[in-house]
């Protein structure tokens, strides 16, 4: 990717941005596909006799990955006046990012389909079929009914050992306003809005499943879409295998050990909540945040992000929505809440397992 000429990079940017913008602002349609409804994703079925249909990823998904990879060919400038590392910063009583923090984000690369996955090879174990489909995209492999979990069971696409853990990467901000249309791109314009400012992001995630055999009912406040939740991310409290919401124990459980990769058990789950937070060092450098959301049956992951400290409350609530691609890249789009005085913003994000 780094060997591409600047002209070719610019051309690719112009080709993929309309597809990405279609997922950020539904009023925008790529000029080259005006006769196609971009929201109507085609469906797949492993055989003609199956009644199960699962959607292909939206076309913007591949466009997002390509756009992120293209942006990563541009070097991030490290401010020379910053402390060398966290130890130096603490000894001098300084907070905020260090030169080492900038080097970490500068070195991050979004995982691509053709990349090798040493970590995934280890997770799959020696007894698993290491076909390219399974090694490089376990989500697609399972939807096609190629794995031990049959499509008829409609089990969750992701098991905890792939999604749980610490994820680290960055987000970018679109010059297109997410709510007011300020600076919006007009159809047919030669230069769609770009994505700017690679800013680090991180979250340590844990999954909790709800099963039919659990007697307690799910609270009404978390049954609807995450974006419509009235509860805050900080209202959730995870302790071991138990998940609480405002002091109330939820009928969700964290799978551990062999259960974590028990396809039969996972196929019996009817909901999956995901909670997390930033680690201490990231909080000192870039801000501390709490996350809560849901893993949907179609593989979509939605996270609500809120600042942990009142000093950062002005950032408001952000909604991150994406997919786990190739079992290694958590990528998608995000948008912030808006108020009468301050319109929302939106953009892209990419994270990899730390």
Q: What is the pLDDT of residues 22-69, one digit of tens each?
A: 777 543 333 333 323 334 444 444 443 444 455 566 678 889 999 999
For residue 323 the two structure tokens come to: 């997919």
194 Rama class: left (phi>0) / alpha (psi -120 to 50) / beta: beta
Mean pLDDT of 146-153: 45
Phi and psi, residue 239, nearest 5°: -140, 105
Angle of CA points 48, 54, 55, to nearest 5°: 115
Report the alpha-carbon angle 12-185-75, nearest 5. 45
Averaged pLDDT, 140-161: 53
Q: Are 333 and 90 in contact (CB under 8 A)?
A: no
Q: Residue for token digits 């849901």?
A: 294
Over its C-alpha atoms, the chain yields an Rg (Å, rounded) of: 21
> Which of the four pLDDT bands, split at 50, 70 and 90, describes residue 110?
very high
- What is each CA distance from 96 to 57, 204, 307, in whole angstroms? 38, 20, 15
Q: What is the pLDDT of residue 283?
A: 93
- The answer to whether residue 177 scores a pLDDT higher than 60 is no
Each residue of 278-313: b (16+ CB within 10 Å) or e?
A: beeebbbbbbbbbbbbbbbeebbbbbbbbbbeeeee
Mean pLDDT for all residues in the chain: 77
**Cα angle value 177/180/186 (rounded, 5°):** 70
Q: What are the Cα distances from residue 93, in Å, to 155, 237, 284, 290?
A: 50, 31, 12, 25
Residue 323 CB burial class (10 angstroms; 0-12, 13-18, ≥19): buried
CA atoms of 120 and 155, how far apart (whole Å): 20
The answer on pLDDT for 183 being more than 80 is no
What angle (nearest 5°) sits at the alpha carbon of residue 303, between those of residues 170 and 53? Answer: 110
Residue range 338-353: mean pLDDT, rounded: 76
Position 85 pLDDT exceeds 80: yes
Average pLDDT in the 230-259 region? Answer: 88
pLDDT at 190: 55
Confidence label for 15 from pLDDT (cuts 50, 70 and 90)? confident
Q: Taking Cα atoms as reference points, which of 83, 84, 102, 103 lies closest to residue 94?
A: 83
How many Cβ atoms from other residues are within 10 Å of residue 181's Cβ?
13
pTM: 0.80
């Amino acid at each position: 990717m780094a060997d591409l000429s600047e002209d070719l990079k610019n051309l690719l940017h112009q080709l993929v941005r309309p597809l990405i913008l279609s997922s950020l602002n539904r009023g925008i349609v790529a000029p080259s596909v005006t006769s196609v409804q971009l929201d109507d994703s085609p469906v797949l079925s492993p055989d003609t006799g199956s009644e199960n249909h699962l959607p292909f990823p939206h076309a913007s998904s591949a466009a997002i990955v390509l756009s992120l990879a293209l942006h990563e060919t541009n070097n991030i400038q490290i401010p020379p006046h910053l402390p060398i590392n966290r130890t130096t910063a603490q000894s001098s009583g300084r907070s905020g990012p260090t030169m080492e923090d900038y080097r970490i984000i500068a070195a991050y690369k979004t995982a691509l389909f053709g990349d090798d996955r040493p970590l995934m090879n280890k997770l799959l174990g020696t007894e698993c079929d290491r076909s390219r489909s399974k090694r490089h995209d376990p989500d697609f492999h399972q939807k096609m009914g190629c794995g031990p979990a049959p499509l008829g069971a409609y089990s969750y696409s992701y098991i905890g050992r792939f999604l749980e853990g610490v994820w680290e990467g960055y987000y970018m901000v679109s010059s297109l306003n997410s709510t007011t249309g300020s600076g919006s791109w007009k159809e047919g314009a030669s230069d769609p809005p770009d994505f700017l400012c690679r800013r680090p992001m991180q979250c340590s995630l844990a999954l909790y499943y709800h099963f039919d055999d659990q007697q307690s009912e799910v609270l009404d406040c978390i049954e609807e879409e995450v974006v419509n939740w009235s509860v805050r991310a900080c209202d959730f409290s995870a302790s071991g295998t138990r998940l609480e919401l405002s002091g109330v124990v939820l009928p969700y459980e964290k799978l551990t050990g062999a259960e974590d990769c028990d396809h039969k058990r996972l196929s019996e789950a009817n909901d999956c909540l995901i909670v997390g937070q930033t680690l201490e060092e990231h909080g000192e450098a870039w801000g501390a945040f709490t996350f809560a959301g849901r893993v949907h049956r179609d593989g979509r992951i939605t996270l609500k992000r809120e600042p942990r400290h009142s000093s950062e409350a002005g950032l408001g609530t952000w909604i991150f929505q994406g997919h786990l691609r190739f079992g290694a890249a958590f990528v998608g789009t995000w948008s912030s809440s808006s108020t009468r005085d301050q319109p929302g913003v939106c953009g892209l994000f990419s994270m990899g397992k730390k």
